[in-house]
Structure formats: C-alpha cells, structure tokens
Amino acid sequence: MITIFYLALFACCFMCLYRIGRGPSAPDRTVAIDILGIVIVGFCAILSLETGKDFYLNVAMAWALLSFIGTIALAKFLEGRSFDE
C-alpha cells in the first residue's frame, strides 16, 4: 500500500520536473517549482507514516516555508520589481 503511494508521488514529482525542464516561459517553471514543493510536503508525510518518526514532518514544515518564500521571491522578480516593495 505504502509502495503505491510512493510510486504515485514519484510520478507527480517527475511530471513537475518535466514541466520545469520543458516549460516555454519562466512563469511555467515557477508554477512547477511551487507544485513540486507542495508534493514533497506530502511525500514527507507518507515517510513519517511509514517509519513512525515525527521529524520528517518538521522537514515538511521547513520545506513548505522555504518553498513559499522562494515562490514569492520569483514572482516578484517576474513582475520586475525589487524585493522591498
């Protein structure tokens, strides 16, 4: 059961990586990076369910925070403004 979950999430990750590689414009890649971060949070949750250890969810929280900050920074950069505005 857990193996099927892993394979499905791997498929999601590879679809995101395909869009990061092929995406014709920069916003496509930014969307794919955002989605990849959220999928990896779910991956950490499944890891934590399998092993019964809780620190994987600490990793998930830190990953969600950093992914959000990175996405906001890339969006500001796309908009052509500096990070202070």
Partner 1 sequence: MSDIIGYILIIIGILFDIFGCIGLVRFPDVYNRLQASTKCVTLGTILLLVGVAVISGLGPIASRAVICAVFIMITSPTAAHAIAKGAYAAGVELWENSVVDKYADHANKKDE
Distances (CA, A) of 9 to 43, 45, 49, 80, 82: 7, 11, 14, 34, 35
Q: Can residue 66 be called a binding residue for partner 1 (CB under 8 A)?
A: no
Buried b / exposed e over 4-21, threshold 16 CB at 10 Å, is ebeeebeebeeebeebbe
25 touches partner 1 (CB under 8 A):
yes
Residue 34-53 contact track with partner 1, rule CB under 8 A, x = bound:
xx--xx-xx--xx-xx--x-
Query: Which token pair is 4?
Result: 């099927």
Residues that bind partner 1 (CB under 8 A): 1, 5, 8-9, 11-12, 15-16, 18-19, 25-28, 30-32, 34-35, 38-39, 41-42, 45-46, 48-49, 52, 54, 57-58, 60-61, 64-65, 68, 71-72, 74-80
